[in-house]
Amino acid sequence: MSYDLIIIGAGTAGISAYTAAKRQTDNLLIINDGPWDTTCARVGCMPSKVLIASANQYHDAKNLSKVGIQAELQADLSGVLPRVREYRDRFTSGMQKTVDGWKAEHKINGKARFINHNTVEVNGQQYQAKAFIIAVGTTPRPNDEWQQAIGDRLLTTDTIFELEQLPSSIAVIGSGAISTELALALNQLGVETTVFSRGKNIANATSPKIQELINTALQPQLNVLFETTPESFELKDNQVQVHFNQGDEKKSIAVDYVLNATGRVSLLDGLALDQIDPSYDDIKSLPINEYTKQLADRPIFIVGDAHTTTPVQHEASNEGKIAVKNVFSYPEVKQGKDLAPLSIVFSSPEIALVGQSYQQLKDNNIDFEVGFASYESQGRATVLGKNVGGIEVYVDKASQVFLGAEIFVTDGEHLAHLLAWILNQKPTISDILSQPFYHPTLEEGVRTAFRDVKYKLKSS
């Protein structure tokens, strides 16, 4: 017997694909290894946002002097991590319920391996299908050496939310989006943080000016050691000693825990894709179409975080749906509607990228102009006591069409949606300046940035 479709992986992309596919056929199978919920709900977006909500509000409460209130705060933070787990469980059990509603004969627990282009093996049994959607996701990059040295003092995003209590201190290895969110939240909650960064930047902005604003605001809070990686770890006096070099100097710090946030690795490796085609043994060079996620010209689609440069939930979910459309129209394969690129780091202030980033525009040799607005004295931001950062908008010089933005502003997630939703309309500067900007709002800073780029283009 051959299934119409086998989906491998029941995370965000897999669940989205299954939901779409069961409207098309009952002859399908979904195979999953591990919990039947999502990285996002279990160890990703959701628990981190719960932690960040507590951290931000605690931080604001400690800084009421910014809004004219002298206050003393006595706080018991022992409920913070239990609340994270309570909500996490609520979100994952919601998903569990969805999955429980699926037909038992559609679901298999276990690790899939390809036998050939139309056959996988799970728990010793073989299953054939006309098409596959592969949505196996990622896992935190393991580090056996570190693990051996300090055991359960080495945390990843899989384990950090399981801590009974907030530690006193933590070393965070990596300064990408996830580590920035977590380190900042922990820091706001009184955890002493030290962040080790291979490079010179915090999070994912690419514009030198926005990067500088981010570094200036966040480095002192997070104690980021730039261009510094740990040499070794050892357990000593019930703490972890982190040894590292700064210049020629050997240094050490003692911390309660180490969070390995050096990135995530794809789980495609375990699927034996080389059994489909020997050339697929290197998952980094798979012939996957960037837009349709199709593997070569096969009825096989690799969606979600397993193979992407933009591991964000709404794109994974969208890819799952589009793959199902293409599975059932195969060999006709179409690109889905273009989603405006949008990424958000839930730091404070928030960091967001919309459309093409500064670096992408440079790499693509686009002739663009930059509009900038500082939020250091922006009206509403000042009133809120959150007047930090700024926004850059990028505009095509010839057509004056809006191309992208980099944002480091309080509530930046909303400004990012605003700009992402108009991006595909290809608005000009003048189109954007004729939108309503209510007073007094953070959105008025967006107007300042577009006025700035308008002025620059006039003067040039």
Alpha helices (H) along 101-197:
144-150, 177-188
The answer to the question of whether 263 is labelled as a binding residue is yes
Integer Cα distance of 422 and 400 in angstroms: 14
Cβ of 212: how many Cβ atoms within 10 Å?
14
The answer to the question of whether 305 is labelled as a binding residue is yes
- Compare residues 418 and 457 and give the one whose CB is closer to its own copies: 418
Mark residues 433-452: x for contact with its own copies by CB under 8 A, - for none.
Answer: -xxxxxxxxxx---------
CA proximity to 157, closest of 278, 64, 327, 43: 43
**Binding to its own copies by residue 68, rule CB under 8 A?**
yes
**Binding to its own copies by residue 285, rule CB under 8 A?**
no
Write down the residue that tokens 């920035």 correspond to.
180
Annotated catalytic residues are: 439
Q: Which two tokens stand for residue 115?
A: 């036998």
The answer to the question of whether 308 is labelled as a binding residue is no
The answer to the question of whether 34 is labelled as a binding residue is no
- Compare residues 87 and 226 and give the one whose CB is closer to its own copies: 87
Q: Which of 79, 142, 151, 263 binds its own copies (CB under 8 A)?
A: 79
Helix axes 45-62, 80-100, angle to 10 degrees: 150
**Binding to its own copies by residue 46, rule CB under 8 A?**
yes
Integer Cα distance of 394 and 449 in angstroms: 9
- Compare residues 110 and 440 and give the one whose CB is closer to its own copies: 440
Shortest spacing between CB 411 and its own copies, in angstroms? 7
Shortest spacing between CB 69 and its own copies, in angstroms? 5
CA proximity to 145, closest of 37, 36, 243: 243
Shortest spacing between CB 91 and its own copies, in angstroms? 7
Shortest spacing between CB 288 and its own copies, in angstroms? 21
The answer to the question of whether 178 is labelled as a binding residue is yes
Using CB under 8 A as the binding rule, the residues of this chain from 370 to 389 that contact its own copies are 379-380, 382-385
CA proximity to 181, closest of 214, 203, 163, 159: 203
Choices 175-183, 190-198, 239-247, 419-427; region in contact with its own copies by CB under 8 A: 419-427
**Binding to its own copies by residue 325, rule CB under 8 A?**
no
H/E stretch holding 368 reads strand 368-374
Q: Which of 31, 122, 420, 449 binds its own copies (CB under 8 A)?
A: 420
Using CB under 8 A as the binding rule, the residues of this chain from 298 to 317 that contact its own copies are 312-315, 317
Q: Which of 1, 70, 101, 248 binds its own copies (CB under 8 A)?
A: 70
Residue 144 φ/ψ, nearest 5 degrees? -65, -35
Quote the longest CA-to-CA distance of the chain: 73
All residues at 6 or more sequence positions from 155 whose CB lies less than 8 Å from its CB, including other chains? 163, 170, 257, 258, 259, 260
Q: Which of 99, 163, 166, 340 binds its own copies (CB under 8 A)?
A: 340
All residues at 6 or more sequence positions from 436 whose CB lies less than 8 Å from its CB, including other chains? none
Shortest spacing between CB 306 and its own copies, in angstroms? 18
**Binding to its own copies by residue 163, rule CB under 8 A?**
no
Q: Is the dihedral of CA 5, 10, 12, 15 positive or negative?
A: positive
Strands 112-116 and 390-396 come out as unpaired
The DSSP secondary structure of 414-430, one letter per residue, reads: HHHHHHHHHHTT--BHH
Residue 135 φ/ψ, nearest 5 degrees? -140, 60
Mark residues 89-118: x for contact with its own copies by CB under 8 A, - for none.
Answer: --x---------------------------
- Compare residues 366 and 433 and give the one whose CB is closer to its own copies: 433
Look at residue 40 and give its three-state secondary structure. Answer: helix
Contact 67, 385 (CB under 8 A): yes
- Numbered residues of the known binding site for FAD: 49
- Numbered residues of the known binding site for NAD(+): 174-181, 263, 305
Residues that bind its own copies in the complex, under the rule CB under 8 A: 40, 45-46, 49-50, 53-54, 57-58, 60-61, 64, 66-77, 79-80, 82-84, 87, 91, 312-315, 317, 337, 339-340, 342, 344, 379-380, 382-385, 411, 413-418, 420-422, 425, 434-443
